[in-house]
Amino acid sequence: MRNLILLLILAAMTDIPGILEAQGPTLPSLPSGLQVRADNRYFDIHPRIVPANRESTIEIIPRFDHVRFKPDCQYELTYSPVEQIAVKSGWKPKTKEPLTLENRRARITKFFEGEQEHTFVIEEIKPDKKRAVFCVAHVFSLEPDLYALRPFKGEFHMHSNNSDGVESPPYVAGACRRAGLDFMALTDHRQYRPSLQAAEAFKNIPVDLKMFAGEEVHPPDNPVHIISFGSNASISDLYLDPKNEESYREEVAKIQSGLQDLPVGVDPFQYASCLWASSKIRERGGLGMFAHCYWYTNYKYGAPGPITNLLLQKQVFDAMELVSGFDAAALNEMDTNGLQVARYYEEAAQGNRLAIAGISDAHGIEKSEQFGRFYTVCFAPSCDLAEIKKSIKEFRSVAVEAIKGERPRPFGPFRLVKFSHFLLREIFPQHDELCLVEGLLMIQHAAGDASAASKLRLLQGQVAQLYSRYWN
């Protein structure tokens, strides 16, 4: 019944342009650029995530008549642990084993050794002895610490028509869910209030998207762009009013007076201003983020190299934007993201571990090549604000870059990147399909459709249910 409701809702919305982009005759490409793999659409495969170094049972259940197990055919299974970690499991390469069916479904019990991906290839042997691959299923086993967490997709940096974006805050929020995001923060330039407007528009509406406060902070005479995420009050208000700006300059001057032995080329006032902003964000319960540190504009980087070096080395902010949503033309002119990724790994090699995020910095949702394709995956127990901030600070995040027409690339700690490749292929496409319908309804609610709320209520909790089924 729920699937029928989803299809009816989606069918009623096909007049909204630009939502689905056809790729091939049957498989739609989602706003995130991901596609549901055919076997994951034809078969119910669960669980997909299992505890490492334990025995678990996987079920593979055909969902449609064209993929039913046939009574006159035999089936064989070839199992492969992708990293070939198999000390205790008794695995032997290229070994085929007969597959016993129970109630027209396959039940496979294995000892899933280590933290790795596992592949199950089912072959169908027809009465004439001809073989064909029937289904390929993928499972990932995790150590207890990561197994206890869930992946949440989110965006820390984007703009509305309150600054230099195009759409209103409620529209941006709906588009975030449409793109497959679990949380978001609107970060208009020098404005905190629009991020609250996004959340207020859905205050009494049953939506699963978490909408947090944010703003892009630009302290006077400081070229560094700073994101304040999750603060309980505005940072910009502390310097926008002329009287407040006077206090700002006095406080920065006091910080500056205590600075000693700055590297050559570092402007003392600019560095003190960054220290001031970081402190104010933390005082207000927020997470400070160094925005697009190698942004190339007007034939130079947005922030001078010496201050960028010092901010990263001293970890003045809680995190850095590792990949930023530059369009193809900008990336061809100067591969900003390539520089930022290279800098991140070099800092790590020198023992300076940096917390990271991926962001779109979208300045117009419907015209953006970046929106929904540059984002962060946070691994946390829940999608609550405190847990999202904690996941960033404790290095439990990856930054995803999915340039249009290219394979999505996650960056960050290797262990999380390895798991994220699996998620991007096997889990997130189904997740994003569910979010798509919710996002469309949120946009309809923002447009004044009184019926959208009741439809959203029918869909509430569906991503949580999907994760509950996919995790053992």
Per-residue model confidence (pLDDT) at position 403: 85
> pLDDT-based confidence at 406, cuts 50/70/90?
confident
CATH class of residue range 53-142: mainly beta
Q: Any idea which architecture 150-455 has in CATH?
A: Alpha-Beta Barrel (3.20)
The whole-angstrom separation of Cα 225 and Cα 216 is 7
Question: Has residue 176 got a pLDDT over 60?
Answer: yes
Q: How confident is the model at residue 144 (pLDDT cuts 50, 70, 90)?
A: very high
Q: Left (φ > 0), alpha (ψ -120 to 50) or beta: where does 24 sit?
A: left
Task: Give the span between the Cα atoms of 358 and 341, in whole angstroms.
Answer: 11
SS3 state of residue 341: helix
Q: At 28, is the pLDDT very low, low, confident or very high (cuts 50, 70, 90)?
A: low
Q: How confident is the model at residue 6 (pLDDT cuts 50, 70, 90)?
A: low
In this prediction, residue 94 carries a pLDDT of: 87
CA distance 171 to 249: 37
- The answer to whether residue 9 scores a pLDDT higher than 60 is no
pTM of the model: 0.93
Rounded Cα distance, 201 and 323, in Å: 29
Q: Which residues contact 442 (CB under 8 A, 6 or more apart)?
A: 170, 173, 174, 177, 178, 202, 205, 207, 209, 452, 456
pLDDT tens profile 195-217? 999 999 999 999 999 999 999 99
The pLDDT-based confidence of 368 (bands split at 50, 70, 90) is: confident
Q: Could you state, in order of their start, the residue ranges of all structural domains in the chain?
A: 53-142, 150-455
pLDDT band at 328 (very low <50, low <70, confident <90, very high): low
Rounded distance, CA 249 to CA 257, Å? 12
26: pLDDT confidence band, cut at 50, 70 and 90? very low
Q: Which tens digits make up the pLDDT trace of 252-304?
A: 999 999 999 999 999 999 999 999 999 999 999 999 999 999 998 888 999 99
Instruction: Give the tens place of pLDDT for each residue, 47-62.
Output: 999 999 999 999 999 9
**pLDDT value at residue 3:** 52
Q: pLDDT tens across 225-264, in order?
A: 999 999 999 999 999 988 899 999 999 999 999 999 999 9
Residue range 345-371: mean pLDDT, rounded? 95
Tell me what pLDDT residue 206 has: 95
Cβ atoms of 106 and 44 within 8 Å: the answer is no
Q: What number of other Cβ atoms are within 10 A of residue 240's Cβ?
A: 15
Q: Contact at 8 Å (CB) between 459 and 438? A: yes
